[in-house]
Amino acid sequence: MNILITGTSSGIGYGLAKHFSEAGHQVYGISRRETKIDNENFHHLPLDLLDYPAVQTKLPEFLSNKDLDLAILNAGVLGKIQPMAKAELDELKNTMELNLWSQKVLLDTLLSNNKVETVIGISSGAAVNGNMGWSGYSLSKAALNMLIQLYAKEFEDTKFYAFAPGLVDTNMQDYLWEVSEEKYPSVKKLHDARGTENMPKPEEFAKRFESALPKLFKLESGQFADLRKI
């Protein structure tokens, strides 16, 4: 398969890129920082997804008319855990910019230059759980779910899914580890899961992700699913 993955320098994207390239797939990875994967099947484009002119010119060059079997839109930011009423508008806009608008620019560029079989937007349980403090992150992932639904209606030859990965032990969890359970009770579940099989490391997660794909692909295009429930 030809697989595009965004956000391959760390965390989930790194785990997926390593797993799929080692399994013999051609993996095209994007991130600003270097991605430390030494495999001839892995190809990397250093790119800031917020630099829209660069996305529009460099992405088509990088993929050079290749047909993609799978595009995994994984790059994302958490932003601050904080009460919505205290959140600065600029901070919320930054989270929306990467988690929502950059995904639109990427999709528009991709779909006008390449044939794409399936798109998976990496969403979150936070897209549907309005827990105290999840602020711009919940908003952005709920909006991403809707973006995926809307594209599914417009591009009938491509399948689109918004997929929540469950808990994965990445840089995002390092930040969440420091968040107070007293102020934000929903983080207790995350703290309890760390170091257990309920929060796998990215490479272990990648195996679970691949195993879940056949079930995901049976769903109607445009749907949101959670890996823990599928």
Ligand X SMILES: NC(=O)c1ccc[n+]([C@@H]2O[C@H](COP(=O)([O-])OP(=O)(O)OC[C@H]3O[C@@H](n4cnc5c(N)ncnc54)[C@H](OP(=O)(O)O)[C@@H]3O)[C@@H](O)[C@H]2O)c1
Q: How far is the CB of 8 from ligand X (least distance, A)?
A: 6
Considering Cα of 18, then 21, then 27, then 33, what sign does the dihedral take?
Answer: positive
CB of 95 to ligand X, least distance (A): 10
Of 4, 5, 12, 206, the one binding ligand X by CB under 6 A: 12
3-state secondary structure the chain: CEEEEECCCCHHHHHHHHHHHHCCCEEEEEECCCCCCCCCCEEEEECCCCCHHHHHHHHHHHHCCCCEEEEEECCCCCCCCCCHHHCCHHHHHHHHHHHHHHHHHHHHHHHHHCCEEEEEEECCHHHCCCCCCCHHHHHHHHHHHHHHHHHHHHCCCCEEEEEECCCCCCHHHHHHHCCCCCCCCCHHHHHHHCCCCCCCCHHHHHHHHHHHHHHHHHCCCCCEEECCCC
Is 2 one of the binding residues for ligand X (CB under 6 A)? no
20, 44, 59, 76: residue in contact with ligand X (rule CB under 6 A): 76
Q: What mask, x for binding ligand X by CB under 6 A, covers residues 28 to 57?
A: --xxxx--------------xxx-------
CA distance 71 to 5: 6
User: Which residue, 11 or 133, is less far from ligand X as judged by CB?
Assistant: 11
Position closest to ligand X via CB:
11
| Min separation Cβ 52 and ligand X, Å | 11
Nearest approach, Cβ of 178 to ligand X (angstroms)? 15
Stretch that binds ligand X, among 37-45, 68-76, 86-94, 221-229 (CB under 6 A): 68-76
Binding ligand X (rule: CB under 6 A), the pick from 10, 26, 41, 131 is: 10
Under 8 Å CB-to-CB from 196, ≥6 apart: which residues?
none
Query: Which residues in 137-176 contact ligand X (CB under 6 A)?
Result: 164-165, 167-168, 170-173
Residue 204 interacts with ligand X (CB under 6 A)? no
Site string (97-136) toward ligand X, x via CB under 6 A: -x-----------------------x-x------------
Residues that bind ligand X (CB under 6 A): 6-13, 30-33, 48-50, 74-77, 98, 122, 124, 164-165, 167-168, 170-173
